[in-house]
Amino acid sequence: MFTKKTKFIELVTSDSTSLKNHVVSIIGGGGKTTLMYKLSEELAGLGLKVVLTSTTKFQPPPDVPLFLQDENEWFLDEANNALQTLNRVAIGKNQYGESRVVGVASSAIFDIRKIADIILIEADGSRQRGLKTHKEYEPVIPNYTKTTIIVVSADTVGRPLTDDVVHHSELFAAKWNLRTGSTLTPGLICRELLSPYSYLKNVPIHSSITYLVNKSDRNTIGGRLLADKLIRSCEHHVFLGSLKNSKVKRISKR
């Protein structure tokens, strides 16, 4: 059953006083960037100093100051100065095309922690697909991560296994001995999300894990079936809802 409507910070912790020195890595598909934006707004609104970044590539919010490591040796000092009044900045390595930015190396997170209360990291790419499987070097989750949020789109449930739906679909098919076009059932998706060879393989042992089944407005039944399957299959936190509609709820086991 649903509990009451949650705040976005509850995907990280139920206790806002524990957010200091927190690093959050967000992986998966179907809403990572939107979640990072919404989380950063809510956290900054609490007076916390928030840094948005990535260990791959990301699109920073247009209304947030961006500081690039390769363009300014004083980028960290300038980002720190901006945080004193704005509470929210983005940090990357260099520009990638018109709107995207190359993220920083995992080692750079150590220095960024010195100026931020909380760091939000987009830690893999999905080419805007709602589901993906990971190559050998993915996901790139820094060891400092205290919370790992795994996002999956409800509208992948019941759809065929194709490149339009799943990032690295051929790898996904080979991993689970499937044919292209096979139906993505809640059980199959759940196996991928809980796989120690994909989503969970680089999650630090000390990191808590939260699952968010997003875009339930596009597939209400499928989203609920997937969330229920996750609850029955693991002990991690599971949330269901629609980031687009700003409605995300924690699902209980009762």
> Which stretches of the chain are DSSP H helices?
32-45, 75-86, 109-112, 169-175, 186-193, 220-233
Domains of the chain plus CATH, in order, are 21-251 (3.40.50)
For residue 130, give the nearest of 158, 159, 153 by alpha carbon: 153
Q: Is residue 25 within 8 Å of 145, Cβ to Cβ?
A: yes
CA separation for the pair 76, 241 (Å, rounded) = 36
pLDDT (0 to 100) of residue 17: 63
- Phi first, then psi: give them for residue 65, nearest 5 degrees: -60, 135
The pLDDT value recorded for residue 4 is 43
Specify the 3-state DSSP secondary structure of 45.
helix
- Tell how strand 57-58 and strand 100-102 pair up: antiparallel
The answer to whether 88 touches 52, Cβ cutoff 8 Å, is yes
Q: Which pLDDT value is given to residue 7?
A: 84
Global pTM value: 0.95
Give just the sign of the alpha carbon dihedral 110, 117, 119, 62.
negative
Per-residue pLDDT of 55-83, as tens digits, reads: 999 999 999 999 999 999 999 999 999 99
Residue type, 86: L
Distances in whole angstroms, Cα of residue 14 to Cα of each of 7, 65, 144, 183, 237: 9, 28, 20, 36, 11
Q: Which pLDDT value is given to residue 206?
A: 95
Query: Which amino acid, one-letter code, is at 222?
Result: G
Q: What percent of the chain has pLDDT over 70?
A: 95
Q: Give me the residues of the chain with pLDDT under 70, please.
A: 1-6, 14-17, 252-254
Q: What confidence tens digit (pLDDT) does each residue in 130-152 have?
A: 999 999 999 999 999 999 999 99
- In whole angstroms, how large is the CA radius of gyration of the chain? 18
